Chains A and B, each alone.
Chain A
Amino acid sequence: MDRILVADSLAKSFQVGKRRVVALDGVSLAIRPGAVTGLIGPDGAGKTTFMRLAAGLLVPDGGRIEVLGLDTTRNSLQVQAALGYMPQRFGLYEDLTVQENLDLYADLQGVPRSERPARYAELMHMTGLAPFSGRLSGRLSGGMKQKLGLACTLVRAPRLLLLDEPTVGVDPVSRRELWAIVDRLVCGEGMSVLLSTAYLDEAERCAEVILLHEGRVLDQGDPAAMSARLAGRTWAVTGPGRRPRQVQAELAGRPGVVDALVQGEHVRVVTEAAEPPVGLDGLEVRATPPRFEDCFVDLLRCRGRTDHAARAGGNPVDRAWTPAGAGRTEGAVIEVRGLERRFGEFKAVAGIAFSIRRGEIFGLLGANGAGKTTTFRMLCGLLPASAGHLEVAGLDLRHAAAAARGRIGYMSQKFSLYGNLSVAQNLDFFARVYGLAGAALRKRLDWALAEFDLAGHAEQLSGDLPLGYKQRLAMACALMHRPEIIFLDEPTSGVDPLARREFWQRINGLARQGVTVLVTTHFMEEAEYCDRLAIMAAGRILALAEPAAIKAMARSPEHPEPSMEDAFIRLVEDTVEAPA
């Protein structure tokens, strides 16, 4: 068999509220055996729907899909017996131990008892879970849960393994380990793997990638060959004496420039033609090899998303406003010393300290469970600190939490909007909550609708908005009262690369106006957009410096140019070796 999975004009749509959402719109593709195929695309591209169709868990509206020559709708039981599928949130039974979860899946998959000891040993060795076999799986870390999910899926070696975003929310160390397992399965056991991901850097590890966007296949092929198409169009631009962020603001949206992105000390630029960007005064341009993300952004922009790009490229915060407290010149806006938060025995935040200057973009980087959100909640006065000193906008949060909250904006992780209120009603509500009324309120509403391009959606229910719009609305709500500090908790998770770029343009614009921005992220490359950065793990700050300095910490003869991820992993491993 030369094709292990074949889809032919596959279509599927869902009813969401009053809207009919097309998840897959005529997808035809084929996947070859014995290799890792990546299904790449932003959230909502249709990756999960495709996986579920392949596993026979959904019935297509049109077209067909065959796995191992079997139709997944008509022969779903046989298909399910032959493939392994790990859903995005693998449902581990959290009140069962690691071993009991494995036993359950071995029973369900019909693994003969005689074969189990050997298989278990192999899986435990592969995943490094052997020391934890008696632990309840609810007590495992995110990365370990993911590895246990994979082990349960692999308890009987499947011929085709479907992995739906296995690396989302997993720390970089576990992410590397998961990839090592996948590579081993493919090389050692000859398994075929279809893996979906929203991380574009993972695409480069696949033998073949399928680019999915808005339910359609944009392209399919060897990722290296795809990147190679952009040869000669990618540049690194530096402006001596200028901050990369300023250089980027200048470059983005210029004619002929497809993409401009801060990357460490330089700005990465993709041009439409194989010529360096033109009309630059005092900027140094040198050619740099293309990478997969360039290709993806280029493809997306070619597909009529240029309207976004043009807007994002301009100066989005041109209808300037002055944040409250601007013009003051005192040093630190946020001052944290010895901050601790305990939940029972567990220390979510174990003594951290930092101070942030006005107009700075400060990033908190860490895996899920590192303590980022807890820190944020304490800074916003939503959660009392167990110990330590905490000062925001010159106010001690222990005594003046309410006053401090009036001067900060908070955009929470899940964009807490009222789904059954319209866009305008949400804005109105959040403005009134912060005490705006009358003419000031109307003026601010107009500003928000114009500034965030929401005017066309003002009457739409916010629950029905696409994710990118929800994110914009959430940010608008957080800015209604002109805060001088804004907290953004994982603002870009699940948003496509273009919307992410646009979002960072806005953040840069805010910082230029003197708003202090605190942002958490688990995207390593986003860390590079920050002025300074704290890397967190297990409730502690492992490093706090400018991005370039953090990367420099990981420099070694073998690794002359380490990435942020290399640096992160290095830091985490060093801490494990020498516990503080």
Chain B
Amino acid sequence: MSTRGGPDIRLRGGQAMRLRGLIRKEFLQIVRDPSSIAIAFLMPFFLLLLFGYGVSLDADRVPIALVAEAPSPDSADFMAALQGSHSFAPRVMASMPEAEEALLKGEVHGIVRLRADFPRRLRLPEGAPVQVIVNGVDANTARLVLGYVEGAWGNWLAARAAGQGQELKLPVALQTRIWFNSEVKSRNYLVPGLVAIIMTLIGALLTALVMAREWERGTMEALMVTPVSMTEVLLGKLVAYFTLGTGGMLLTVGLAVWLFEVPLRGSFWVLWMCASLFLLAALGMGLTISTLARSQFVAGQIALIATFLPAFLLSGFIFDIGSMPAGVQVITQAIVARYFVAIVQTLFLAGDVWSVIVPNALALTVLAAIFLTITWKKSRKRLD
């Protein structure tokens, strides 16, 4: 038989004990629930492998067809230049019909055609035309092929001129230097951006789901009738999923740096701080959703549409915000992930650029505060 203290004594003394109990419960559940582990650790792993190895926005060994209608030393020289570039995997073909068929079948993404009179016209003042046909279905690759062929052409001319002891006379010469991501590897900016996607998954999706599960299984009703306050229930979730989210972040950053060799030029501690801010905002979103939706299905739907997809598409993770239509750019202001993506990409590739980090970190702080306040105000200890 327990002592019969008045209710007030229990209310005051037990807060630490209740919180400890709740946090321990959350961790036990995370450890035993395969779906939390999957979302927190397996999913980041697969996303990383996918974006690290699978998805690439670079032109790397793009198959193209080379058609020289009348082979000559000049055409052979030009083709050797293309074959030497790691951007292309050229296939020499004898005739245009053959190349066109390969294009139709999707075996090559473009055709470079040198007409029979190529060597002759090359020596005329108006120059020789090179025909480039690209498959415009995949607009991105098409533009890449065009650009690279042009570049290859310019290089070839310059090399040719140098070989003849002359200087290529062009009115304007382009001198290119690439900063921050000097190898222009898309992986180097995709992988850091993934940190934001993974933390959105853990913070918003997983948290919304586990809260809704408490309603669905009736555990919320049983919790509510104990002297626990809603703030304590929310804090319990916050602590547990904050830890899980930090784990996911460390895993992603570790893999990015050691497996994918993405340079981390900024300070790790600044990254940690900003990630924590972002995680709080994501958790705030997840908990806000859970105050609206009490079934896992609805919570999952809302979380996907309101947090995960925008983080994927509108955060600047893949698609550059600056090149979006003005209306969409305005919408991205409300996407929490965009502020974090900006910070992560800067920290990884450029370094501690305070003029980027500080305003974005402030935006994260404000959003986190807004979402957590909404949750705290909205969740009353009532069933209706």
Q: Which residues of A come within 8 Å of B, CB atoms?
A: 14, 52, 55-59, 76-96, 100, 103-112, 115, 119, 136, 149, 152, 156-157, 189
**Shortest CB distance B6–A (Å):** 9
Among A14, A55, A87, find the residue whose CB has the most chain B CB atoms closer than 10 A: A87
Does B223 sit at the interface, judged by CB under 8 A? Answer: yes
**Shortest CB distance B380–A (Å):** 9
**Given A59-B382, A157-B1, also A80-B225 (CB < 8 A):** yes
CA of A313 to CA of B33, assembled, Å: 54
CA of A434 to CA of B336, assembled, Å: 53
Residues in B15-30 with C-beta less than 8 Å from chain A = 17-18, 20-22, 24-25, 28-29
CA of A54 to CA of B383, assembled, Å: 13
**Shortest CB distance A525–B (Å):** 28
**Shortest CB distance A158–B (Å):** 10
**Shortest CB distance B382–A (Å):** 6
Does B97 sit at the interface, judged by CB under 8 A? Answer: no
Does B226 sit at the interface, judged by CB under 8 A? Answer: yes
**Shortest CB distance B14–A (Å):** 3
**Sample of 15 more A-B contacts, CB < 8 Å, known A57-B382, A108-B22:** A57-B383, A59-B384, A77-B11, A78-B7, A81-B11, A87-B221, A91-B214, A91-B218, A91-B221, A108-B21, A110-B18, A112-B2, A149-B222, A152-B222, A157-B1
Does B93 sit at the interface, judged by CB under 8 A? Answer: no
**Is A93 within 8 A of B219, CB to CB?**
yes
A91 contacts which of B20, B33, B217 (Cβ < 8 Å)? B217
CA of A77 to CA of B32, assembled, Å: 31
**Given A77-B11, A95-B29, also A89-B383 (CB < 8 A):** no
**Shortest CB distance A432–B (Å):** 29
Query: Main secondary structure on chain B at its contact with chain A?
Result: helix
CA of A85 to CA of B229, assembled, Å: 16
Does B8 sit at the interface, judged by CB under 8 A? Answer: yes
**Is B225 within 8 A of A55, CB to CB?**
yes
**Is B14 within 8 A of A110, CB to CB?**
yes
CA of A80 to CA of B221, assembled, Å: 12
B25 contacts which of A85, A93, A119, A152 (Cβ < 8 Å)? A93
**Is B28 within 8 A of A95, CB to CB?**
yes
**Shortest CB distance A82–B (Å):** 5
**Is B2 within 8 A of A157, CB to CB?**
yes
**Is A110 within 8 A of B227, CB to CB?**
yes
By a CB distance below 8 angstroms, the chain B residues around A106 are 21
**Is B20 within 8 A of A92, CB to CB?**
no
**Is B3 within 8 A of A108, CB to CB?**
no
Residues in B212-264 with C-beta less than 8 Å from chain A = 214, 217-229
Instruction: State the total of A-B contacts with C-beta under 8 angstroms.
Output: 117
Does B143 sit at the interface, judged by CB under 8 A? Answer: no
CA of A461 to CA of B217, assembled, Å: 27
Can you name the residue of chain B whose Cβ is closest to the Cβ of A110?
Answer: B14
**Is A110 within 8 A of B28, CB to CB?**
no
**Given A107-B20, A109-B226, A110-B14, also A57-B221 (CB < 8 A):** yes
CA of A91 to CA of B3, assembled, Å: 26
Residues in B264-318 with C-beta less than 8 Å from chain A = none
By a CB distance below 8 angstroms, the chain A residues around B218 are 87-91
**Is B383 within 8 A of A58, CB to CB?**
yes
Does B13 sit at the interface, judged by CB under 8 A? Answer: yes
Can you name the residue of chain A whose Cβ is closest to the Cβ of B19?
Answer: A107
By a CB distance below 8 angstroms, the chain B residues around A87 are 218, 221-222, 225
**Shortest CB distance B216–A (Å):** 9
**Is A96 within 8 A of B29, CB to CB?**
yes
**Is B225 within 8 A of A90, CB to CB?**
no
**Shortest CB distance A144–B (Å):** 16
By a CB distance below 8 angstroms, the chain A residues around B220 are 91
By a CB distance below 8 angstroms, the chain B residues around A100 are 25, 28
Can you name the residue of chain A whose Cβ is closest to the Cβ of B227?
Answer: A81
**Given A55-B225, A81-B227, also A111-B384 (CB < 8 A):** no
24 examples of A-B residue contacts, CB within 8 angstroms: A52-B383, A57-B225, A58-B382, A77-B11, A78-B11, A80-B226, A81-B7, A81-B11, A87-B222, A91-B214, A91-B217, A96-B32, A104-B21, A107-B14, A107-B17, A107-B20, A108-B227, A109-B10, A110-B10, A111-B2, A119-B2, A136-B32, A157-B1, A157-B2
By a CB distance below 8 angstroms, the chain A residues around B86 are none
**Is A94 within 8 A of B227, CB to CB?**
no
Does B61 sit at the interface, judged by CB under 8 A? Answer: no
CA of A56 to CA of B33, assembled, Å: 32
**Is A91 within 8 A of B226, CB to CB?**
no
By a CB distance below 8 angstroms, the chain A residues around B10 are 81, 109-110
CA of A340 to CA of B14, assembled, Å: 52
CA of A152 to CA of B10, assembled, Å: 17
CA of A81 to CA of B6, assembled, Å: 9
**Is A58 within 8 A of B384, CB to CB?**
yes
**Is A104 within 8 A of B217, CB to CB?**
no
Does B377 sit at the interface, judged by CB under 8 A? Answer: no
By a CB distance below 8 angstroms, the chain A residues around B214 are 91
**Is B21 within 8 A of A103, CB to CB?**
yes
By a CB distance below 8 angstroms, the chain B residues around A52 are 383
